[in-house]
Chain A
Amino acid sequence: MIEVRNLHKSFGKVKAVSDMTFEARDGEITGLLGPNGAGKTTTLRMLYSLLPPDEGDIRIDGLDPTRDAMAIKTTLGVVPDSRGLYTRLTARENIRYFGELHNLPKQTIEERIESLAATLDMGEFIDRRTEGFSQGQRVKVAIARAMVHQPQTVLMDEPTNGLDVMSTRALREYIRSLKDSGQSVVLSTHIMQEVAALCDRIVIIAKGKVAATGTVDELISRSGRDTIEDAFVQLIGSEEGLMA
């Protein structure tokens, strides 16, 4: 459960996020939808306590990222915008490293790697060095290492970016399985189909502000248009940044 109230963040004179309020419930997939540069990544970075907010409150399962950073990090699973892997380590070692940083017992780490490798279909490359991995393989490793500590809240920044159709389908299925097991999933995206196919609740962000929130159907009916795409354009008031 994530609650965000009146969040502000500026970089110098640039207001990246201003007065943002939304929530993401357990057992639901919440999509932050917005054009490139709308403030999605900055918002996520504040959620996983990489950046301190200038103003406003964040609560994740009651914890405040600015004060309980360490505690929050143990309950969060994050697939950030940068998916850098260690190319001289195998996929398994990459995941194990994060498990060790979470101070998990050795046995637990190995078991989780096995089960994640099965779920994410990584068996073929789990023991290969990640040098030269395809985009899809890299994303799978990035997800597995973010999930090795079985987080209650999952944050994903543009998770399907650069993936082919098959990988995208598989990933969506996996995200749905997280929701079914009661986790709270927040993903940022600028791809409309993604939101329509995946999200229970949508937060439309434009220019650092929340333009609208609701389910797909609610947003369509509120805008008086036929498709989520038209609704989106109507609600943010421009087509800027949608070409991708």
Chain B
Amino acid sequence: MNGILVVLKKEVRENLRDRKAVFNSLLLAPILFPVLLIGMTWLGTSAQTERAERVLEIPVVGAEQAPNLIRYLEQHGVVIKPAPDDPESLVRSQKEPVIIRIPEIFGEQWQAGRPAEIEVIIDPSRPESDIPISRVKGLLRGFGSEIGLLRLQMRGVSPIVMSPLLIRDVDLSTPQSRGMIFMLFLPYILMITAFMGGMHLAIDTTAGEKERHSLEPLLINPVPRWQIMMGKLLATAIFGMASLVLTLIAFRITLPYLPLAALGVDLGLGAVAMVSILLVVAPIALMAAALLTVLATYAKSFREAQSYMGLVILIPMVPTLMFMSNPVKPEASMMPIPLFSQNLLISELVRGEAVPVQWLLYSAAGTLIFAFALMAFAATLFNRPRVMFSDS
């Protein structure tokens, strides 16, 4: 067992001296991800408030057909722009998000008390026009129902008959659960951090050792090869964990600067939540270290190993993408699945939900079994001549 510790200590010390390794493994994720997330949230909220509060300027074709409607719109702050020649092409080319066209038949229908046609020219496939579209439609609907009420009252009918249903939302989302972007990305970011933190070491301690021609002298020492491998693998896991801890701390520091209040969100990353999240992700760091070490051991050179790593980074993305397109309700039966369970559990923890202890245990056990299997496999690798002499 002495061998494991000696190798572990040496790999950690050696890599702490490598500025590139320290930056890539320990500092990149804690700096990059909070900045990225804050930037994304900030952009999202500011764009949303801007669009919701900006003065609507809407071109109207045939404004003279419906002077009352135009007056209503102007009273509600809409600036009516003169009619363009070709409204469709203006919308299509994104010069205008919404154009209202009042057909000539409008006046006739209106006078007759029939539903009067009105066209709203839009392209709903443009997400940035969502807000103007819904504002214009809301105003038109408001005008319509105002007139409808007046007409009923003139005929001596109570306007209540128009409202057979009264729909009231009972909002059960807690303030935390509204931090959508944050919650969707935090599990993914943490999982990627566990992978990224160990990546440089996994390569340096295996493929790098081969490339430097120091593997053969190392294996001549009277230490069982599996112990040498385990020392390397655990050093990788330690870097992954360190990166995780630093990233969580970075989030805790930067969270107050997230403009979440604007979204009506109050996200807490308290000490208890942080420690729980760390415990949930820790087995992933071990599993990632084992997976990365196995792959890097097969590579002949640093460069070849790096190209494998590019693909590995995609693995933690799988559950996030799945949950994005197909949200699932967390259940005990999903907990033994590595990556999936952590993804669900972190979401629950950040949301401030109480998570059954049983789930935490299933998750840790499932991932650790997987990690141990990979470690057992890794332990045999230095016994393979193909792995040892791939350069000669």
Q: Report which A residues bind B (CB closer than 8 A).
A: 48, 50-51, 70-71, 73-74, 76, 78, 80-89, 93, 97-98, 100-103, 142, 145-146
Q: Does B222 contact A (CB under 8 A)?
A: yes
Bound form: Cα–Cα A102–B220 in Å: 10
Contact of B217 among A74, A89, A142 (CB under 8 A): A142
A85 in contact with B220 (CB, 8 Å): no
Bound form: Cα–Cα A108–B6 in Å: 16
**Chain B residues, CB < 8 A from A100:** 2, 6, 10
Across chains A and B, which 9 residue pairs bring their CB atoms closest together, nearest first?
Answer: A84-B214, A82-B213, A84-B213, A73-B222, A101-B221, A84-B212, A100-B6, A88-B17, A74-B222
Bound form: Cα–Cα A51–B209 in Å: 19
B148 to chain A, nearest CB (A): 80
Within 8 A of A (CB), among B200-246: 209, 212-224
B2 in contact with A48 (CB, 8 Å): no
B2 in contact with A103 (CB, 8 Å): yes
B220 in contact with A80 (CB, 8 Å): yes
Select from chain B the residue with minimum beta-carbon distance to A103: B2
Select from chain B the residue with minimum beta-carbon distance to A41: B392
Contact of A78 among B2, B10, B217, B385 (CB under 8 A): B217
Contact of A88 among B14, B224, B388 (CB under 8 A): B14
B371 to chain A, nearest CB (A): 26
Can you offer 22 A-B residue contacts whose CB atoms are under 8 A?
A73-B220, A73-B221, A80-B216, A84-B209, A84-B217, A86-B10, A87-B212, A88-B17, A89-B17, A93-B13, A97-B10, A98-B217, A98-B221, A100-B10, A101-B3, A101-B223, A102-B221, A103-B2, A142-B217, A145-B217, A146-B217, A146-B220
Contact of A86 among B212, B216, B220 (CB under 8 A): B212
**Chain B residues, CB < 8 A from A51:** 385
A83 in contact with B222 (CB, 8 Å): no
Q: Does B18 contact A (CB under 8 A)?
A: yes
**Chain B residues, CB < 8 A from A146:** 217, 220
**Chain B residues, CB < 8 A from A73:** 220-222
A80 in contact with B223 (CB, 8 Å): no
Select from chain B the residue with minimum beta-carbon distance to A48: B220
A97 to chain B, nearest CB (A): 5
B222 in contact with A101 (CB, 8 Å): yes
Select from chain A the residue with minimum beta-carbon distance to B2: A103
A95 to chain B, nearest CB (A): 12
A85 in contact with B214 (CB, 8 Å): yes
Select from chain B the residue with minimum beta-carbon distance to A85: B214
Select from chain A the residue with minimum beta-carbon distance to B18: A88
**Chain B residues, CB < 8 A from A103:** 2, 222
**Chain A residues, CB < 8 A from B222:** 70-71, 73-74, 101-103
B333 to chain A, nearest CB (A): 46
B217 in contact with A97 (CB, 8 Å): no
Select from chain B the residue with minimum beta-carbon distance to A145: B217
**Chain B residues, CB < 8 A from A142:** 217
Bound form: Cα–Cα A165–B13 in Å: 36
Instruction: Give the most central of B3, B10, B18: most A CB within 10 Å.
Output: B10
Contact A82/B6 with A70-B222, A73-B221 known, Cβ cut-off 8 Å: no
Bound form: Cα–Cα A98–B7 in Å: 10
